[in-house]
Amino acid sequence: MSTNKPLVKGFFDERTFSAQYVVADPETRKCAIVDPVLDFDEKSGATATRNADAILSYVNEQGFEVEWILDTHPHADHFSAARYLKEKTGAPTGIGEKVVEVQKLWKGIYHWPDFPANGSQWDKLFAEGEKFSVGNIPARVLFSPGHTLASITYVIGDAAFVHDTLFMPDSGTARADFPGGSALRLYSSILEILSLPDDTRIFTGHDYQPGGREPRWESTVAEQKARNTHMSKCKTEAEFVKVREARDKTLSMPKLILHALQVNMNGGRLPEPEANGRRYLKFPLDALQGAAWDDQ
């Protein structure tokens, strides 16, 4: 009988403050990779696979078999390595079915009329509440919109992978001002996550290391309810929405949002090479009006 407690190994990318995960069933040695990062340097335009290769090295060292490559949503601050890892492992890719809503929205922003906004870039589109497994460990999907239209939470055994919904307790909650975002919907999503058993392990997708502390990415539902800087202080939906929206008005856009969405809404595929053999990103100007500007 398999344990309900998967082995979880986190990999932290310092460039994007991102946490990536290998989630494994200790009995069957089957695993899922969650929210992997494809390295990208926006200054030089260079790509690399250091993060993904480190994950593959760990998987091989542990004798794991990759059963799933999962993204929680189309990321706005790093490229997804899902496509690269599929090529290396043959494992199916998955994301929430509402990704089609993000595709439709950003297809217009990028003026990409031929883009297939149907989710076909992934092998599996998970529905709200859908059940699956990692090895013998039961898993299910929570629809967690607010940060984006398509955000989901993977609950795998006693572990919940929430990415940009909750941060560590000392960092609060995720922003909700991206196209399609909603602080109101984010609040409802967080309440659903916090209705899980108190000992559920919460794994976040980013940690911005407040005060310069070491990166952390694991907490519990009980810790989040007791100490999350937003959820423990905002006693009502209206209070949370007011705090979240006021904070969001002060935030500049992630530096990679326009770079990353065209890759990530395409399942982690980089643009096809043009006639000269080079790949090019398409960068719309003045597409995200109203965001705060950085001083630098």
User: 7-166+196-217 in CATH: which number?
Assistant: 3.60.15.10
Does the pTM surpass 0.85? The reply is: yes
Are 36 and 9 in contact, with CB atoms under 8 Å apart?
no
Are 119 and 152 in contact, with CB atoms under 8 Å apart?
no
What are the residue boundaries of the structural domains of the chain, listed by start?
A: 7-166+196-217
Task: Give the Å distances, CA to CA, from 180 to 31, 104, 145, 227, 287.
Answer: 32, 11, 9, 28, 14
Amino acid present at 244? R
Q: Identify the CA nearest to 132 among candidates 197, 70, 64, 194.
A: 70
Return the half-sphere exposure (C-beta side, CA atoms, 13 A cut-off) of residue 283: 8
Q: CB atoms < 10 A from the CB of 296, how many?
A: 4
Q: Would you give per-residue pLDDT tens digits along the chain (296 residues)?
A: 457 999 999 999 999 999 999 999 999 999 999 999 999 999 999 999 999 999 999 999 999 999 999 999 999 999 999 999 999 999 999 999 999 999 999 999 999 999 999 999 999 999 999 999 999 999 999 999 999 999 999 999 999 999 989 999 999 999 999 889 999 999 999 999 999 999 999 999 999 999 999 999 999 999 999 999 999 999 999 999 999 999 999 999 999 999 999 999 999 999 999 999 999 999 899 998 888 888 65
Q: Indicate the DSSP class of residue 164.
A: S
Joined tokens for residue 229: 């800087």
Are 157 and 171 in contact, with CB atoms under 8 Å apart?
no
